[in-house]
Every structure is written in structure tokens, then in C-alpha cells.
Amino acid sequence: MSRANKAKNTEIEASLMTPMIQKMMGTEGLPLSEGILEMSSLLRGGNPTFQRELAHFREQALADRGACIMHEAQVPVSMVGLADLLQKKFGSFNKDDDHEMQLQRANLMRNYLV
């Protein structure tokens, strides 16, 4: 039995279901039922390796039939919630702010990320 299987339905799995992971998986605000965990837990269906393999099998099945579907680039997991975090820390963008204030805010965010 793999380590991931041993960690299912434990506090470890629950601690992995952070708000950012829930947002990334589209389960934000839903109760963490067995069905939701089966689709979105990083130890189950939400595992990036599992998702990558599933996408590969889907693409291969399409290719075997002479078809393909163009997809947008995937967003790195570490970027989930970054906009929310930056707005919380530096305030929301205000189009009415003068150019100098907008530039100052942008530089503060850039320095924070560096």
C-alpha cells in the first residue's frame, strides 16, 4: 500500500486541503465530503501526476482518432491566490489613481515578490 493511500482519511489529508488548494480544484466553499475528496484531494484525483497522466491518456485517445484539442497553458500551483494575496497586502487596483501612485504600488508588489 502506498504512502498516499495510508494518509487518506487522516488529519494529513485534511491539512492538505488548504483554501488555495480548494480554490484551485474548484471546491471552495463545498463541504469536504468523500466525493469531493475523491476528486480534489492531492492524495487522490487532485494529484498533479494523476491529472497529468489523465490528460495524456485523453490526448492519446484523441490522437488515435486523428483529432486534437488546443488547450491553454496550465497555471502553476504556486500562483493560485496570488492576486488575492497581493490585493490584501497592497490594496485593490484603482484605475482612478494617478500614474505615479499606480507605479509605486506596482513596484511595491514587484519588490515583495522578489
DSSP label of 17: -
Contacts of residue 91, defined as CB under 8 A and 6 or more positions apart, other chains included, come to 105
Query: What predicted TM-score, i.e. pTM, was given to this entire model?
Result: 0.48
Per-residue pLDDT of the chain (114 residues; tens, 9 = 90+): 588 888 888 888 888 899 988 988 889 889 888 898 988 898 988 888 888 888 899 889 988 998 877 776 555 556 667 888 888 899 888 889 999 999 999 999 989 888
At 69 the pLDDT is 77
At 52 the pLDDT is 87
Spatial CA neighbour of 23 closest among 75, 101, 93, 96? 75
* Residue 69, Cβ density class (10 Å: 0-12 exposed, 13-18 middle, ≥19 buried): exposed
